[in-house]
Amino acid sequence: MITDFFSLALKNLRHRGIRSWLTLLGVFIGVTAVVSLISLGNGLQLAVASQLGVTSNELITVQAGGLSGYGPPGSNVVDSLTQEDVDAIERLSSVENAARRNIDSGRVEFNDNVKFRYIGSLPNNKEDRDLIYSSLDVEAIFGRLIKEGDSGKIVVGYNFYGKPEDWGGKSVIQGRTVSVNDENFEVIGITDKVGSMVMDNVVIMNENDMEDLFGFGDEADIIIVQPKDGDKLQKTKEDIEKLLRVRRDVDEGEENFEVSTPEATLSTVNSIITGVQIFIAIVAFISVFIGALGIVNTMTTSVLERKKEIGLMKSVGAKNSHIFIQFLVESGLLGLVGGIVGALFGTLIGFVGVLAINNFMGTELTLDINFLLIFLTLIGSLVVGAVSGIVPAMSAARQNPVEALRG
């Protein structure tokens, strides 16, 4: 019997005017927002995380705080970290290894084009260099990475090769010469695409060359720390904080440095994304609420318009419950249609969004279609439709057959 109501409702819906469908706009927008957001959600998280240079390794990053402006990490700090800090951290019992990095912004010239790019240093010591490499999570797509004794040689980010439009239409490949702060360097490798604008445009060189160019002496912009026990990241982090508070003579809560773990950075990313998600969820909720009101409206109108039909149904034996179910099913299906269109459109927006992010940020995200979510959304829109239809369906069921037949 219930299937009869569904087929009857479908036949009625087929003949609905544009006005009925317009009232579904709210449900449509709500579902579109939810579906596109969620299918983009993971991609969005990956995109933001990669921009912030978050990798999945279990390393700790130490930076001096009190930034005085924008620029490469550590470059604007008032009170820099030093090689002595690195040594002290390395002596901690919970620390396996610590390595310093220096980063600065340099004038890069190739094919008569000048750009300003981040220049990063790599330690001479192999162990430290491996630590830095693993913290950066980079590999060479062409050539090789910097080794000790690689004087006058650089490795450049993927965009030097992959975006020739940055360099007057010419790609940087291994063997070509690029000048940094008017010194010529030989390119020996290109790093694989990371998807972060910082890493894909970076110039990496030996720390001796870097010292010659920038002369930072004892200062360390970033210290990368490898804990002895990867599971005790938090404990190691606290040890480093304690040590640096003493060394820099600051009280707890007034640190002029920052010790961060990937988890902490990731949780910052997540809280940003959660904020966006809550906002869109609110928008979706309001839309669906307006959509529900639209369904109430269109169903109420429909009850008035189809009074005669209700009278006829009752005269041929329909009980009040039959009429009630009939209108409830119709209203539920109306909601479901809004949901289906919204889900399709939401997926489409997610798809376009992924393409756009990939295009602008150089990432390689794929669309994350969550079928369970879509299923639940569709059930939800069916329920919203049905709930919106309760009051109109009750008024339809309660029509007096004699009056209803009069129309």
Partner 1 sequence: MEKRGDKLIIELKNVRKYYHMGRNLVKAVDNVSLKIKEGEFVAIMGPSGSGKSTMMNLIGSLDVPTSGKIFLDGQDISTLSESDLAQIRGKKIGFIFQSFNLIKNLTAKENVMIPMMFQDHPAEEREFRASKLMELVELKDRMSHSPGELSGGQQQRVAIARSLANSPEVILADEPTGNLDTKTGSTVMDFLEELNNNGKTIVMVTHDPDLAKAHAEVVFWLKDGKIEKVTRKKNRWSGVGKEKLKRQMGYK
The contact set with partner 1 (CB under 8 A) reads: 1, 4, 8, 11-12, 14-15, 308-309, 311-322, 401-402, 405
5 vs 142 by CB, closer to partner 1: 5
Q: How many residues are recorded in the chain?
A: 407
16 vs 163 by CB, closer to partner 1: 16
**Phi, psi at 387, each rounded to 5°:** -60, -40
As a whole number of angstroms, the distance between CA 174 and CA 19 comes to 64
190 vs 329 by CB, closer to partner 1: 329
The nearest distance, CB 321 to partner 1, in angstroms, is: 7
Distant-in-sequence, close-in-space partners of 293: CB < 8 Å, separation ≥ 6: 26, 388
How far out from the chain centre does Cα 67 lie? 26
Report helix angle 371-397 to 320-361, nearest 10: 150
Beta-strand pair 153-156/183-191:
parallel
Instruction: Give me the torsion for CA of 143, 148, 149, 152, rounded to 10°.
Output: 50
Strands (E), 42-112: 60-64, 81-82, 95-101, 103-110
Cβ count near 112 (within 10 Å): 8
Distant-in-sequence, close-in-space partners of 169: CB < 8 Å, separation ≥ 6: 111
Q: Say whether 267 sits in a helix, a strand or coil.
A: helix
The nearest distance, CB 404 to partner 1, in angstroms, is: 9
Cβ count near 100 (within 10 Å): 26
- Whether residue 30 contacts residue 288, with contact meaning beta carbons closer than 8 Å, is answered with yes
As a whole number of angstroms, the distance between CA 148 and CA 214 comes to 19
**Phi, psi at 327, each rounded to 5°:** -75, -35
- Whether residue 64 contacts residue 100, with contact meaning beta carbons closer than 8 Å, is answered with no
The nearest distance, CB 10 to partner 1, in angstroms, is: 10
The nearest distance, CB 324 to partner 1, in angstroms, is: 11
The nearest distance, CB 4 to partner 1, in angstroms, is: 5
122 vs 313 by CB, closer to partner 1: 313
178 vs 310 by CB, closer to partner 1: 310
The nearest distance, CB 339 to partner 1, in angstroms, is: 23
The nearest distance, CB 17 to partner 1, in angstroms, is: 12
The nearest distance, CB 20 to partner 1, in angstroms, is: 13
318 vs 329 by CB, closer to partner 1: 318
The nearest distance, CB 316 to partner 1, in angstroms, is: 4
As a whole number of angstroms, the distance between CA 129 and CA 127 comes to 5
78 vs 402 by CB, closer to partner 1: 402
15 vs 254 by CB, closer to partner 1: 15
Handedness of CA 21, 27, 30, 33 (dihedral sign): negative
